[in-house]
Amino acid sequence: MRSPNAYGRVAVLLGGRSAEREISLKSGSAALAALVAAGVDAVGVDAAAPDLLAQLAAGNFARAFVALHGRGGEDGTLQGALEWLGLPYTGSGVLGSALAMDKLRAKQLWQGAGLPTAAYQVASADSDWDAVVAQLGLPLMVKPAREGSSIGMSKVERAVDLPAAVATAAAHDPQVLVERFIGGGEYTVGIVGDRVLPAIKLETPRAFYDYEAKYLRDDTRYLCPCGLPPDAEHALQRLALEAFQALDCRGWGRVDLLLDSAGAPYLMEANTVPGLTDHSLVPLAARAVGLSFEQLALAILDTSLGLPQGTPRLLLAGERADV
């Protein structure tokens, strides 16, 4: 275990100005409390402050723990500013953050790399809706290309509802994706350093795993072990890792996947700063391999040190992760 003093003074960046500000405040506050409990000299800094860069430059900080979700914190913008300041930070760099935040570019890159992702079209108010439905079928998922936490997303069961769903998504981002719905099960795989955490299966009585299911409901189920045979789970973990690396992501994050009715996997999106709230998935998967929240926070902080990553370890629930 590394000495808490080895990290120096740490700025935990939280809040920010995105649509996910409230979730970021919860994630950042949880991470800050865990780091302080571990003896780290950590200070919370709200990234919504107009003098943020001046605060960071004058604060005698040795590194930053990024707990910001959404635009301005998870899209490479902040990462570029931190690099300009010469301040090491947790998680992915500028390119990986920008690619993962943009669902369209991520899908295009995955397609170019030969990785499976659901068929889609880019939609606008003047799209030919009949052609979209003819190509992709029903039901469909409609989403803003550059939002997180399922903000602005809709599941469309009837063609007549497609224009309104696209308009809802476009209110959050002018770039809107319409994807073929994959209904065989939703899974997520967390990655922390060289650990690929156990897959989690998500189950909700709602139409899909939306914002309410993620943060407000008590009837959402998170299954870890996920119920897949070990070989199938390892295959899902390997695909998640390959997708993460294809986007130039590093340090830590989470990849969301869908299985169709035949069990074939499809990549949905990558998250470079996943949630750290009491409803969040990476902490749940970490607990399944014996990592406490405090140990997880320190492992994430370790990603700011720029240490070489070892050979990735695919962990199943019940195995013990090295601390």
Q: Which positions are annotated as active-site residues?
A: 20, 149, 215, 254, 256, 269, 271, 275
The count of other CB atoms within 10 Å of the CB of residue 320 is: 9
Q: What is the CA radius of gyration of the chain?
A: 19
What element of type H or E holds 108? helix 103-112
Q: Is the dihedral of CA 201, 207, 211, 215 positive or negative?
A: negative
316: phi then psi, degrees, rounded to nearest 5: -105, 155
User: What gap in Å lies between CA 202 and CA 175, rounded to an integer?
Assistant: 27
> b/e per residue, 49-81, with b = 16+ CB within 10 A?
eeebeebbeeeebebbbbbbbbbbbbbbbbbeb
User: What gap in Å lies between CA 246 and CA 200, rounded to an integer?
Assistant: 22
271 - beta bridge partners? 254
Contact assessment for residue 15 and residue 24, using Cβ atoms and an 8 Å cutoff: yes
Would you state the structure tokens that stand for residue 153, as one six-digit string?
A: 């997303």
User: What gap in Å lies between CA 240 and CA 180, rounded to an integer?
Assistant: 20
